[in-house]
Amino acid sequence: MSNPPQFTWDDLQFFLAVARTGQLSTAARQLRTSHATVSRRIDRLEFALKVKLFERNPRGYVMTAMGARFVETAEKMEQETERLRADLADGSMTQRGVVRLSAPEGFSNFFFASVLPRFAAQHPHLSLELVTIQQIMSLSRKEADISVVLDEPKGGPYFSEKLTDYHLQVYGSRDYLARHAPVTSRDDLLRHPFISYIEEMIFAPGLDYLGDVHPRIKPQFQSSSIFAQLTATRNGLGLCILPYFFASRYPELEIVLPGEIDLTRHYWITCHQDLRQSPRVRAVIDFLREAVAGEDVRFVPPWVKR
């Protein structure tokens, strides 16, 4: 009679870290150990199970079919382990580990960065990784634990809820507007250079809003970065559609056609259903929800009825 496979929960943690990142070095950094230790633990787990969980190649570790099946079991064990820890320890002690948050550049730089000190004070045992290259992050492949997105996920095993509405207007620098023809109607916008996103690199339908202002606007300067668009607008390159919650911080910017053009978009928070009950993930979601609710005035202009 053969002996059952021998492995520990620690081995499964190493397996999950590599499965989610595809890289030994990244997994080692998350687990605060060495590249060699991660490799050794994976080898030991494969030997104990007598199956190959990963294909090794120069670009990283790719799960085999058996590895993909095994990850589901390992994640269920992870969830049960974290629930048990939550029952055995107080709240602050259960909120440990690394959480990777993917969020749009504007939300990250002009809102979340400002509340990070508060997050660190409330959750000293949590380490946060903030990723702003949202278009390449995948919740399904566990490349991010939580995502703030502009469009609610449709279908799939995801939890999601709306964080907040936010508003956008057309802005120009006061210097630019003083030197160029006045804008008194939407058709006048066609006489001005526009700053916008690169059309084929728009990663969310919510960012495709030029047509909502005027169907014939053709941007003269395009960038995948909202920060670059903001900088170009402040430097007088042209007009740009910008979110109120950060454009309103700059006194040199002025709203064009105030009261006539006001676009509304939404931020959603989402995560894989498997991670929703994880104490570390739940702590970040709760913090985001409370932080946004407490700063509602920054996202919604004072002239908008609530």
Q: Domains in the chain and their CATH numbers?
A: 9-88 (1.10.10.10), 95-163+266-299 (3.40.190.10), 165-264 (3.40.190.10)
Task: Label residue 52 by pLDDT band (50, 70, 90).
Answer: very high
Q: According to the model, what pLDDT value does residue 128 have?
A: 92
Alpha helices per DSSP H over 33-90: 35-49, 65-88
Percentage helix, strand, coil, to 5, in the chain?
45, 20, 30
Distance CA 145, CA 39 (A): 23
> Of 100-104, 190-194, 201-205, 271-275, which has the strongest mean pLDDT?
190-194
Give the pLDDT confidence score for residue 277 in this predicted structure: 81
User: Is the pLDDT confidence value at 110 over 80?
Assistant: yes
Supply the pLDDT for residue 95: 64
Q: Where are the beta strands (DSSP E) in 91-212?
A: 97-102, 126-131, 146-149, 158-173, 194-196
Q: What is the DSSP letter of 157?
A: S
Give Cα separations from 298 to 11, 249, 287 (angstroms).
45, 10, 17
Residue 2 has pLDDT above 80, yes or no: no
pLDDT confidence bin for 135, thresholds 50/70/90: low
Q: How far apart, in Å, are the Cα atoms of 65 and each of 13, 57, 68, 186, 254?
A: 19, 16, 5, 56, 56
- Residue-averaged pLDDT of the chain: 87
Dist. CA 203–CA 275, nearest whole Å: 24
State the pLDDT confidence band at 232, using cuts at 50, 70 and 90.
very high
pLDDT > 50? residue 1: no
What pLDDT shows up at residue 92? 46
| Average pLDDT of the segment spanning 225-229 | 94
Residue type, 258: P
Q: Which residues of 178-212 are buried (b: 16+ CB within 10 A; e: fewer)?
A: eeeeebeebeebeebbbbbbeeeebbeebbeebee
155: confidence class by pLDDT, cuts 50, 70, 90: confident
**3-class SS of residue 60:** strand
CA quadruple 230, 253, 219, 211: dihedral positive or negative? positive
How far is Cα 197 from Cα 226, in angstroms, rounded to an integer?
8
Residue 137: its pLDDT value, please?
A: 52
* Nearest residue to 275 (alpha-carbon basis) of 153, 140, 152, 128: 140
**Are the C-beta atoms of residues 280 and 96 closer than 8 Å to each other?**
yes
Q: Give tens-digit pLDDT for 156-197.
A: 788 899 999 999 999 999 999 999 999 999 999 999 999 999
pLDDT band at 201 (very low <50, low <70, confident <90, very high): confident
In contact, 256 and 172? CB cutoff 8 Å: yes
Angle between helices 65-88 and 9-21 (to 10 degrees): 120
Residue 269: pLDDT above 90? Answer: yes
pLDDT of residue 207: 87
> Residue 93: pLDDT band by 50, 70, 90 thresholds?
very low
Q: Which residues contact 122 (CB under 8 A, 6 or more apart)?
A: 287
